[in-house]
Amino acid sequence: MAERRVTIGWAEGLHARPASVFVKAVAATGVPITIAKPGGTPVNAGSMLGLLALGAQGGEEVVLASDAEGADAALDRLAKLVQEGLDELPAAA
């Protein structure tokens, strides 16, 4: 399973607007992804409710994971989005 550990770059964490940006970005990758706090239970990263229930705050570490084909490229892009607090998914390399 591929995974990336990243620190949340949005000051407000994964709430409201950043959560919406993230959920849309996950959907755009076309790859099933989970997100969790280290040692926590993974939730579907494409689910707004799951993401909000995670309660991830700015500056906290989260783990993005997937075992699907194409996961490494998708996780790299999502990790950059989360770590840098971007407003949209970075272009594929």
DSSP string, the chain: -EEEEEE--STT-SSHHHHHHHHHHHHHHTS--EEE-TTS--EETT-HHHHHHHTPPTT-EEEEEE-STTHHHHHHHHHHHHHHT-SSPPPP-
**Domains contained in the chain, number:** 1
Low-confidence ranges of the chain (pLDDT < 50): none
User: Which pLDDT belongs to residue 71?
Assistant: 97
Where in the sequence is the domain holding 57, given as residue range(s)? Answer: 2-84
Residues that are catalytic: 15
Does 93 fall in a domain? no
Does 8 fall in a domain? yes
Does 92 fall in a domain? no
User: Which pLDDT belongs to residue 93?
Assistant: 62
